[in-house]
Amino acid sequence: MDHSISHQPSFALLQVDLEAGEAITAEAGAMVSHTAGIDIETNQGSGGLLGSVKRKMLGGESFFQNTFTASESGHVTLAPPIPGDIVRQDLTDETLFVQSGSYLAADQSIAVDTQFGGGKTLFGGEGLFLLKLSGTGPTFLSSYGAIEEKTLEAGEQYVVDTGHIVAFEERAEFSVDRVGGLKSTLFSGEGLVCTFEGPGRIWLQSRSQDAFLSWLIPQLPLNNE
């Protein structure tokens, strides 16, 4: 499955080239355009009704997904709802954990489910539940801002603000921690961080939606009516 990504990193646009019979599954609303000969089927995705409810209620994703199947060679273009980047990650019988909102599309062979992260994620910006992508095939992730990939060696640690996490490999251990003492946690503007330990790879986004909203909301005019 060939692809190209243009207009990176601020307004990335994904083009997936499909041969006759090939298909790609994407989040509802992600389609920008497609050539003639591309059939669209809307379904509940992997896991059926229960799986869709879990992804919507717990993972923050769409209830439905769209599958684009080529009856003849062509392409489909996809984009996330917010400005940012797109990256492709091929899975080989492995699992990737993705924060809510960063899943864009994947091969039909990839199972998309939710995963309870345990109490350690209760206060993390990535949420108590993460999306779990498993199987073999290409996946496409999106971000708010640019995406940076970090590879950790065995035993190597790396600290990331929870609002900047896009995805991480299952083999990477992690814990959610405070920034310094209570004063730093409350007033530093950093809040909580996620400490990863290798081996494994993590993907980060250069901007945080939570940080942007924290800046934007005080700028909005008050409704005096």
Q: From start to end of 2-73, where are the E strands?
A: 2-6, 13-18, 23-27, 31-34, 38-43, 65-70
Which of 151, 147, 110 is closest to 132 using CA atoms? Answer: 110
Tens digits of residue pLDDT in 70-107: 999 999 999 999 999 999 999 999 999 998 889 999 99
pLDDT score, position 1: 82
Which of 198, 197, 163, 166 is closest to 179 using CA atoms? Answer: 163
Tens digits of residue pLDDT in 116-142: 554 444 444 444 468 899 999 999 999
From residue 157, give the alpha-carbon distance in Å to each of 31, 153, 197, 213.
Answer: 38, 8, 4, 29
Please, are residues 154 and 171 in contact by the beta-carbon 8 Å criterion?
no
CA torsion angle for 208, 210, 215, 218 (degrees, to 10)?
A: 170
The span from the CA of 8 to the CA of 14, in Å, is 10
Please, are residues 118 and 33 in contact by the beta-carbon 8 Å criterion?
no
pLDDT tens track, the chain, 225 positions: 899 999 999 999 999 999 999 999 999 999 999 999 999 999 865 554 444 444 444 444 455 789 999 999 999 999 999 999 999 999 999 999 998 889 999 999 999 888 655 444 444 444 446 889 999 999 999 999 999 999 999 999 999 988 899 999 999 998 887 765 544 444 444 567 889 999 999 999 999 888 888 888 888 887 765
Tokens in use for 160?
A: 């990331």
Nearest 5°: CA angle at 40, between 78 and 10?
5
Place of tokens 């060696």: 153
Please, are residues 17 and 1 in contact by the beta-carbon 8 Å criterion?
yes
What domains are there in the chain, each with its CATH number?
2-219 (3.60.160.10)
Collapsed DSSP state (helix, strand, coil) of residue 191: coil
From residue 62, give the alpha-carbon distance in Å to each of 127, 151, 183.
Answer: 16, 30, 38
